[in-house]
Structures are given as C-alpha cells and as structure tokens.
Amino acid sequence: MQTLEIGALSYFCERMSRYTLVSLIALLIHFSACNYDNEEELYPTSSCETVDMSYASDITNILQNYSCLSCHSSVSNEGSVTLEGYDNLKTWVDNGALLKSMKHDGASPMPKNQAKMNQCDIDKIEAWITDGAPNN
C-alpha cells in the first residue's frame, strides 16, 4: 500500500516537473513575443510621418494604392463618387464622407469589399484634412 503511494507520488512529481519546465519555456517565449509587440505599440508615431502632407504626392498616392481612384475616377464614377482631381475630392472632404468611409464610421466602408486601410495612411489623410486640405 505504502509502496504504491510513494510510487504514485514520485510519478506525479516527475510529471509535474516536466510540465513546469514546459510551462516555463512557453512563458518565456510568450513574454519575449509580448515585449516585441509592446515596443511597437509604445512608439506608433515613429514610423508614421503625418507632417505637411501634400495633395499631389502623399494623398493621391494613397488613394491610388487602395484602388480608390480606379472605382472613383471621372470615368468609372462608382456610386456617383468621383475622387479624381482636387475639386472632386474636396467635395467629399467637405461633406465628411471621405474620412468616415475610410474609418468605417458613419459612411459606406471603403475601400469597398476590402480590408480597412492601414492606420498610418488614414492618419496621413486626416492630418491633411486638419491642415485645411490644401491643394499643394
């Protein structure tokens, strides 16, 4: 009876220490991954330049990268929305729909049927709008 108990106990301890080791390694990997994530979260602005955005280079490039301009050119004009050309774009800046659609907040979510835009790109367009959406 006693031998059995000791046997069970040592088996239990052996299993436990193996689990402890595995858990420790898992914990270590987990924490090193977390530390890496935190670093990126701590300095989100370091890689996103939003100062002095230019309509001609920055904004047009972003709209092109997300195919906004292929659906909203003056020819395709999907949803009766034209974003090609400063004056056309400015209409959608001024009525607020451009930012709302990109933020998925209160207007048809854009780019249509695609994932939400990268936050940095949204921030750049928002910064340009905050600057008064200059034709620069």
Count of alpha carbons within 13 Å of 13, Cβ hemisphere only?
6
On whether the CB atoms of residues 125 and 59 are closer than 8 A, the answer is: yes
Q: Which is nearer to ligand HEC, 44 or 96 (CB)?
A: 96
Taking the C-alpha atoms of residue 119 and residue 96, their distance in angstroms, rounded to an integer, is 18
Between residue 70 and residue 99, which ones bind ligand HEC under the rule CB under 6 A? Answer: 71-72, 78-79, 81, 92, 97-98
119 binds ligand HEC (CB under 6 A): no
Identify the residue among 110, 124, 129, 133 touching ligand HEC (CB under 6 A). Answer: 110
Taking the C-alpha atoms of residue 135 and residue 87, their distance in angstroms, rounded to an integer, is 9
Query: What character string, x for contact with ligand HEC (CB under 6 A) and - otherwise, covers 27-66?
Result: ---------------------------------------x
Nearest residue (beta carbon) to ligand HEC: 79
Taking the C-alpha atoms of residue 78 and residue 101, their distance in angstroms, rounded to an integer, is 14
Taking the C-alpha atoms of residue 26 and residue 31, their distance in angstroms, rounded to an integer, is 9
Q: Which residues lie near ligand HEC (CB under 6 A)?
A: 66-68, 71-72, 78-79, 81, 92, 97-98, 101-102, 107-108, 110-112, 117
